[in-house]
């Protein structure tokens, strides 16, 4: 399974393959739409198995952690809300920081 990105009007879905890094600002299919980042309302992790993980960073592989999730089981959806409506975030996920099959939903 390859990394897949789907964009809607109010959400962005990224399904990870456990190996490929994802960079909103320079490596996504949305680069021309949001080179400076996006206003994030929430980040949600939808796991597929026990111990699935997702770490979302700001800007690059060494950036500050915005979301850090570890699933207790495949039903353990985790969400973090952002209250700052004017801040733009450049989201980045290191390939090994997301388990195979995990979906990240970003409310934009």
Phi and psi at 102, nearest 5°, equal: -65, 135
In which domain, by residue range, is 85 found?
4-107
CATH assignment at residue 38:
2.60.120
Task: For residue 94, give both structure tokens.
Answer: 């290191």
Q: What is the pLDDT of residues 40-79, one digit of tens each?
A: 999 999 999 999 999 999 999 999 999 999 999 999 999 9
Q: Are strands 42-46 and 53-58 parallel, antiparallel or unpaired?
A: unpaired
pLDDT at 98: 97
pLDDT at 30: 53
Q: Domain total for the chain?
A: 1
Q: What is the pTM of this model?
A: 0.91
CA dihedral 18, 24, 27, 31 (to 10 degrees): 150
Q: What is the pLDDT of residues 74-103, one digit of tens each?
A: 999 999 999 877 789 999 999 999 999 999
CA dihedral 10, 56, 38, 108 (to 10 degrees): 20
- Picking from 61, 54, 44, the residue whose alpha carbon sits closest to that of residue 99 is 54
Q: Which residue has the higher pLDDT, 29 or 52?
A: 52
pLDDT at 31: 46
């Amino acid at each position: 399974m390859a990394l897949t990105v789907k964009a809607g009007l109010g959400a962005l879905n990224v399904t990870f393959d456990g190996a490929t890094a994802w960079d909103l600002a320079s490596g996504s299919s949305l680069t021309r739409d949001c080179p400076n980042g996006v206003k994030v309302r929430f980040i949600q992790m939808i796991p597929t198995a026990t111990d699935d993980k997702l770490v979302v960073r700001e800007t690059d592989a060494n950036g500050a952690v915005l979301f850090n999730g570890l699933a207790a089981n495949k039903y353990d959806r985790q969400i973090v809300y952002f209250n700052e409506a004017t801040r733009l975030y450049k989201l980045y996920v290191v390939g090994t920081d997301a388990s195979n099959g995990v979906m990240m939903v970003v409310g934009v």
